[in-house]
Amino acid sequence: MAEYTTFVLEEKEMPTAWYNIQADLPEPVPATLHPGTHQPIGPADLAPLFPMELIKQEVSQERYIEIPEEVQEIYRLWRPSPLYRAKRLEKLLDTPAKIFFKYEGVSPAGSHKPNTSVPQAYYNKMEGVKRLTTETGAGQWGISLAMACQMFGLECLVYMVKVSYQQKPYRRSLMEVFGAKVLASPTDTTQSGRNILASDPNSPGSLGIAISEAVEDAVQREDTKYALGSVLNHVLLHQTVIGQEAKLQMEKAGFYPDVIIGCAGGGSNFAGIAFPFIKDKFEGKNIRIVAVEPAACPSLTKGIYTYDFGDTAQLTPLVKMYTLGHDFVPEGIHAGGLRYHGMSPLISHLYHLGVLEAVAYPQNPVFEAAVTFTHAQGILPAPEPSHAIRAAMDEALRCRESGESKTILFNLSGHGHFDLAAYENYLGSNLPDFVYPEERVKEALAHLPVIA
Ligand SMILES: Cc1ncc(COP(=O)(O)O)c(C=O)c1O
């Protein structure tokens, strides 16, 4: 009998709690600091931005946090998501490796992002908030928050990074179908946006700039709070449904991964697949966990581990993270969701402790892997997870050389149906490869905040 390739769970097997890695860290994650006083922040400092339930999750040390039934009900629209063995890719690569992937592209938004937009909208609704602002890079997060806001009856305003607004017009349209208002960032409607436009009228925008605009907007209105699609502890927490399901599915497949791979922009899908397995690693399992980032925005592989702002206008608290500097504006690569100057404090901490590895690729080899994957498996991946595919394929090719039969698991965080302009450029040999120049690291250092 042919070996199975698809591993699905029943609805009742969907996780009912999120896994909080903070309960199992060998050392606690460094404190978040107030941008003015440089002292550790308390809940009151975050209250203008987030509802209290999310602030509690941000600092919680409880190992499991129950998923509210209203959130589970919406999760069930697409969860549990499938896990596949990429047998046709294995064959094409002629590798003894076994390649598995968890597929988050089955969500209504096409990515993993609704795993956190739904609970974020829910907790805001429960606390009487009427309107949410946010930023979006490639548009996946904006669509996800727009959908969640629609489902809970909240208004939604999205500051979309200008280069993506131009590259991915249909993601913008989908946000609008879900009822959100979308602006190309930098805008002239916020002070942060106007400051950027004054120094660079043609700014392509960046996630750091769009975050500044969304935060500035939210703090000015009583009825409004801000939602972030990555980076923060509570966002990574919500994504752990991915890894918890994957663990059960790998068990059903009869394999345990030797290597787990995910792309990392702010770190949320990577954390989602990896954290439940890192728990096993802390308990003695021998697994490698690899974050993959673009060579054009390599925060882990070329950044500095230090306190920095989460946004360009220095409005957010200071977090300790691997950063390229808060005023770094990456080149307009097509993996818009990976164009963030920093990295989640939790991922940064784990990388600093040596629990994780990281690797960076330019966009052409990434698109080459994406097209090969599409030929073999029939799924068109988004440019962001195509970074994970590149790394998984390289791992499998190394197995072909060594004869090892490793089990590789990667997260396919979203489909690329709205990224066809990027594929068109790749197929037309019109995709430049940007590599982050060393001198920019030094430049960024000069602008970092000095903490006494
Ligand atoms: C499909 C997809 N994968 C990955 C990412 C990167 O974000 P994160 O590192 O938070 O998973 C994005 C961000 O927009 C995305 O849309």
Digit-coded pLDDT (tens) for 168-180: 899 999 999 999 9
pLDDT tens digits for 20-54?
999 999 999 999 999 999 999 999 999 999 999 99
pLDDT digits (tens, 9 = 90+) for 194-225: 999 999 999 999 999 999 999 999 999 999 99
Specify the 3-state DSSP secondary structure of 230. Answer: coil
CA of 428 to the centre of ligand 1 (A): 25
334 band by pLDDT with thresholds 50, 70 and 90:
confident
pLDDT at residue 2 is higher than 70: no
Specify the 3-state DSSP secondary structure of 66.
Answer: strand
Which atom belonging to ligand 1 lies closest to the Cα atom of 139?
14
The pLDDT, as a whole number, for residue 344 is 98
Answer whether residue 12 shows pLDDT above 50. Answer: yes
pLDDT at 451: 83
Tell me if 140 sits within 8 A of 382, measured CB to CB: yes
N-term to C-term CA, the chain: 66
Average pLDDT, the chain: 95
pLDDT score for 435? 85
Ligand 1 atom, smallest distance to 414 CA:
1
pLDDT tens profile 51-82 = 999 999 999 999 999 999 999 999 999 999 99
Residue 44's pLDDT is what?
A: 94
Ligand 1 binding pocket (C-beta < 6 A) is 111, 137-138, 140-141, 230, 263-270, 337-338, 382, 384-385, 413-414
Q: Is the pLDDT score of 444 beyond 90?
A: no
In terms of Cα–Cα distance, which of 435, 420, 408 is closest to 324? Answer: 435
Ligand 1 atom closest to residue 105's alpha carbon, by position in its atom list: 1
Ligand 1 center to 385 CA (angstroms): 8
b/e map 328-349, b = 16+ CB within 10 Å: bbbbbbbbbbbbbbbbbbbbbb
Q: Give the domains, in start order, of the chain with CATH numbers.
A: 6-13+79-110+239-446 (3.40.50.1100), 17-66+113-233 (3.40.50.1100)
Task: Please report the pLDDT score of residue 138 as a whole number.
Answer: 86
Q: Please write the tens of the pLDDT for every residue from 74-112.
A: 999 999 999 999 999 999 999 999 999 999 999 999 999
Q: What is the C-alpha to C-alpha distance for residues 72 and 105, in angstroms, rounded to an integer?
A: 18
pLDDT at 176: 98
Residue 409 pLDDT exceeds 80: yes
d(CA 38, CA 47): 18
pLDDT of residue 1 exceeding 60: no
The residue whose two tokens read 């164009």 is 339
Query: What is the share, in percent, of the chain residues with pLDDT greater than 70?
Result: 99
Residue 51's SS3 state is coil
32 and 345 in contact (C-beta within 8 Å)?
yes
Ligand 1 pocket test, pick from 145, 263, 333, 410 with the greatest ligand atom count within 8 Å of Cβ, gives 263
pLDDT at 67: 98
Read off the pLDDT of each residue in 419-441 and give the average, rounded to a whole number: 89
Identify whether the C-beta of residue 272 lies closer than 8 Å to the C-beta of residue 229. no
Nearest atom (ligand 1) to Cα of 270: 11
**Dist CA 181 CA 87 (whole Å):** 42
Q: What is the pLDDT of residues 238-255, one digit of tens each?
A: 999 999 999 999 999 999
pLDDT at 130: 98
Least confidently predicted of 5-14, 143-152, 434-443? 434-443
Among residues of the chain, what percentage have pLDDT more than 90?
89
Which pLDDT band holds residue 380 (cuts at 50, 70, 90)?
very high
Q: Give the SS3 label for residue 254.
A: coil
